[in-house]
Structure 1
């Protein structure tokens, strides 16, 4: 896991632009999978991880976009 002061939030999205990087949940490393499971559908933030970049979309139970700050 990459230690950083950045935080991420994950929000469900419907439309995905063609140029968006879409990652499948099983392609993520273990730390990123834990973060997606914990944050998907919840109004909270978590520590940013090196495997997830701002704007990425993860296919989990639905499509979720990563927002990093």
Structure 2
């Protein structure tokens, strides 16, 4: 996958509650670029350009559950 030209930024937020309508992705299912962004952003107050197939509201199971926020 590659960077999208949307100008939107991703942030990961640790979550203990997974909305019933959320798409849950496991870290192993992500491509290398998506994995790199998840590793970089997990637990940190940083953002990265929107990439690949990660959308606002998705949840990624990494070391914990992280919800994707895209703005």
TM-score (norm 1): 0.94
CA RMSD of aligned residues (A): 0.9
Ranges of 4+ aligned residues in structure 1 off by more than 3 Å:
none
Q: 5+ residue gaps in structure 1?
A: none
The aligned counterpart of 1:50 is 52
Residue-by-residue CA offset, 1:7-66 (whole Å, 9 max, x unaligned): 000010001122111000000111110000000000010111122000000000000000
TM-score (norm 2): 0.91
Q: 5+ residue gaps in structure 2?
A: none
